[in-house]
Structures are given as C-alpha cells and as structure tokens.
Structure 1
Amino acid sequence: MTPSEASAAARRALPLVDLTDLSDDATEAGARALCARAVTRHGAVAAVCLWPRFVATAKAALVGTGVKIATVVNFPRGGDDTRAVLAETERAITDGADEIDLVMPYRAFLAGRAGFAETQIVRVKRVCDGRAALKVILETGELGEPATMRAAADLALAAGADFVKTSTGKVAVNATLPATEALLEAVRACGRPAGVKAAGGIRTVADAAAHLAVADRVMGPDWASPATFRFGASGLLDALIAAIEGGEHAGKDGY
C-alpha cells in the first residue's frame, strides 16, 4: 500500500471508528481524554464507546460535536440475568447513551437455548426502541465456524438488532475477516437496513482496509458509512491519523 493509498483508506475509515476504552482500569479522567480525541483535525469519529459509569461524563464532554456515545451492557461475559441487563440498559440511556452494545448470551445460544438469547435481545430492544440504537455483540471468536456466526447474526437481526458486532475484544479471537463476512451476509439477507461492527484486534490501516474490502464485496462499494459499518478500536485512530498525514506529506513531496 503506497502512502497515498494508505491515506485514502485512512480517510475512509476514520469516520467509522467507535473510539473505545473498555479497559479494566478505566477512569473518569481517561473517559474525558478519550472524548477529547474523538474530534480530530481530519474529522470526527462515529462514536466513543466506554463503560456505563462514564456515559454522563461523555455526554457533557461531547455536546455539539455530533459524536455518538456508545456503552456496553451484559459485558463482557454475556450472562443470563436479563432483568439486570434491562436495568443497566435503562440507566445508560437515561445518562445519555445513544447506542447500546449488548453482549448476546452466546453461551446459552451455543448450548441450544437460542430462544433465551433471542428473548433477551427482544427485551433490550424494547428498552432501546426510539431512544438508542442496539448493537448486539455475538462474540464470534467463541462461536467457532462462520455458519454458527451467521446463525447468531440472523437471530440477533430477527430480534431487532440495529447492528451486529463481532466481538468484545476480551477473548482470544476477535474480529476476523470471515466473521465480518458472515455478519455482512446476514445483514444483506435480513430485508431491512442494519449494520455491522468489526471490533477487537483492528489496529492498522491495512486491517481496516481489509475489512472495508469485504464490506465492498458483499454489500457494494457505496454501502459502508457511519450508519452501516463501524470499527470498534482503541489504537486504530492514531494509525489512521498517521497515515492521513503521511499521505499528505507524500503528495506534497511527490513520492
């Protein structure tokens, strides 16, 4: 990839980023710093994604920027306590969350309890409906084969998910190209507008470009936008900015 190609890919990817800090030692000061990074000299990211306890902090920090506030529920283990998940979702929306990233109870799904997983998503969607977008994390690295990923994505979309998302970033295998492709194919087949979020392990411009190439192939070259495709990442933004600025320098100097 030449500097100008990397710069073009980075410019395309930057507005698709959900700038993320879900580290175990995250702090309120760190949340404010994350928000300060969300609007760059090359444009704004799509959203910041942080723990529910920092939603109100992000809401205050991002007024007027257009950057969405995403948070996680049932995270990271995808548990079975639906009542607790509903309460967590309600609190997050009340605090100002625009997007809810729900970990599907994927262990229940793998154990043959697909109906339980679907019901949890349906109930969280009812809380979100008209108030926040619902992005369902499938934890594709734990699901195994692409066919199982596709089945989970089909279930989540049928239950009302606005996005299907690969991963929490907390397991050994996170976003892979086959996982992204399986989710894109589910969205293409679902018969309504929906999106895909590739999250976990996407750190370089080449990583982002590869996932976007899959989106272009499956959905068409004009499909990916902040409303339909996201990258969940913590370190990617710095790589994108470096590539944009490197490409600008290369263009000015003719190499």
Structure 2
Amino acid sequence: MELLSPREVASFALSLLDLTNLRDDCDAAAIEKLCERAQTPAGSTAAICIWPRFVAQARGILGADSKVKIATVVNFPSGELPVETVVAETSQAIADGADEIDLVIPYRAFLAGDEDAVTTMVSAVRAACGPTTLKVILETGELKDSGKIRRASELAIAAGADFIKTSTGKVQVNATLEAADIMLQVIRDSRKNVGFKPAGGISSVADADLYLRLAETIMGANWLMPSTFRFGASGLLDDILSVLNGGASARVSSAY
C-alpha cells in the first residue's frame, strides 16, 4: 500500500465504515442521531448497522435513495436461534428496508463439531436475502483456533456469504489482525467475489490503517472498496473526524 497520509487513510476509512449502534439501551433518539452522524461534511459512511427493530425508522429518516446503506443483525448475538426464526427475522428486516443482513453463525454448534449447522443456517438466510447483501459473522474470538476460523470461513463462503465478518463486538475478543489474516487468505483462495468486515474494537485511524494494509497485501491494491471491505465500529468515526480536522489519530488500541 502506498504511503498514505493520516488524512487520506481517515477519508478512505470513512467511505468503508458501517457506523454501528448495537447497544442494549439503543432507542429511537439514538437511531436518529446515528443517521445524522453517518452523513458528515467530509462524506457519508458506507452504512449504519442497527438492531432490526429500528430498520423501518432508519429507512424513514434516510429515505429510499440514501447513499448510506442500512445493515441489520440476525441471530444476534448468540448465534443460537432456530433457523426458521432467523429466516423470519431476515425477511421482516428486508421488508422494513434493510439493504444488508449481518448473520451470526451457530458458532457454538460449530465448535461442538456440527459443520452442517453453519451450512444450513447460512444457506437458508442466503435464500431469504435474495439480492440483499449477506454478511456472515464468525465470532472469531470465540472460535480462537486458526483452523476453526479457516474452516468457518470456508463454510460461510460455500453457503453463499457476500462478506465474512469477524465478530459481534459482544464478546471479550473481537476483531484481531490474526483472524483477519486467515479470513482474507480464505477469501483469496476461494476465488469468489467475497468481502471482509473486521468488527469490534477498531476505534482509531491508526487501527484501521493496519487492517487496510493487511487486506491490500493479501488481496491486491484494487480490492479495497465498499463492496468488498467494511469496518464495523461505533467509535471509529470520532477519530476519523478528528484526523480530518487536523488532529492526530488516537494510539493503536491494545485490543482490536
């Protein structure tokens, strides 16, 4: 990756950001504020990522032709809901105006040796999504083992994921460069047009730059764009705007 200035990295990261509010205390006022924050003087974020119950409200605020996509989460965060419940959740979210579905795999079942649980869930939600973008959350901080992260990535891609995503942001370990490296290699080796989304704990432009450089090293210079790379973060926008306004990026966090 050519050496970009912090401002250039910040501007690029803004265009790749899924600005997220999945707090347990999120309410209608917070969604209104999130939609406003996603449309900055420096440009818009790629998407907002919110609970399903707020999708219709966000669509009403942003309008049908907004550049800001609406992403929502299903089977979240536990990964343990029945397939039919998750399919219904997905269909309702799309009817309410969601552009993108972020699905948690049944990672505990997978850890217990049930690969079919992953394939069945992802395939069913893929079918329910139709042309809607499907991002599949592996919860890599719980999978831990590199072989399991690799296998979960392979299963998700084979079952129709448009993106594979590291984390819910709801467990102790979320996005890490180590998990990102494995997942990006699987995407490359699949030769499919699949994107990557690190999520959880990425809070500074300095953090974001590390992930961008890793992705470019593995996938090539022209791969990084909103259709193939997103950051899932709630705090990253503050640092992006600080850097764009001439400040220094916060220190790289100890936990990605």
- Superposition TM-score tier, normalisation by shorter sequence: over 0.9
2:98 alignment counterpart: 97
Q: TM-score, structure 1 length as denominator?
A: 0.93
* 1:80–1:108 Cα change, 3 Å: farther
Q: Which residue matches 1:252?
A: none
Give the % identical residues: 53
User: In the alignment, what sits opposite 2:203?
Assistant: 203
Cα offset, 1:65, TM superposition? 2.6
Structure that is richer in helix per residue: 1
- 1:1-255 pair list within 5 angstroms: 5-63=5-63, 64-130=65-131, 132-246=132-246
How far 1:76 sits from its partner (Å)? 0.2
Q: Distance in 2 between matches of 1:59 and 1:189?
A: 36
Q: CA deviation at 1:148?
A: 1.4
Unaligned runs of 5+ in 1: 249-255
CA displacement 1:202-226 (0-9 Å, x = unmatched): 0011110000010011001221100
In structure 2, distance between residues paired with 1:175 and 1:8: 23
Distance 1:243 1:80 in 2: 41
Maintained 8 Å contact 1:35/1:48: yes
Asked if the contact 1:31–1:54 (Cα under 8 Å) also holds between the matched residues in 2, the reply is: yes
> Offset of 1:145 from its aligned partner?
1.9
Determine the C-alpha separation between the residues in 1 that align with 2:239 and 2:130. Answer: 35
Count of paired positions: 244
- Cα displacement (A) at 1:247: 6.5
Cα distance between partner residues in 1 of 2:36 and 2:119: 37
What one-letter code is carried by the residue in structure 2 that aligns with 1:187?
Answer: I
Give the Cα–Cα distance (whole angstroms) in 2 for the partners of residues 100 and 180 of structure 1: 20
Letter in 1 for 2:98: A
Runs of 4+ aligned residues of structure 1 deviating over 3 Å after TM superposition are: none
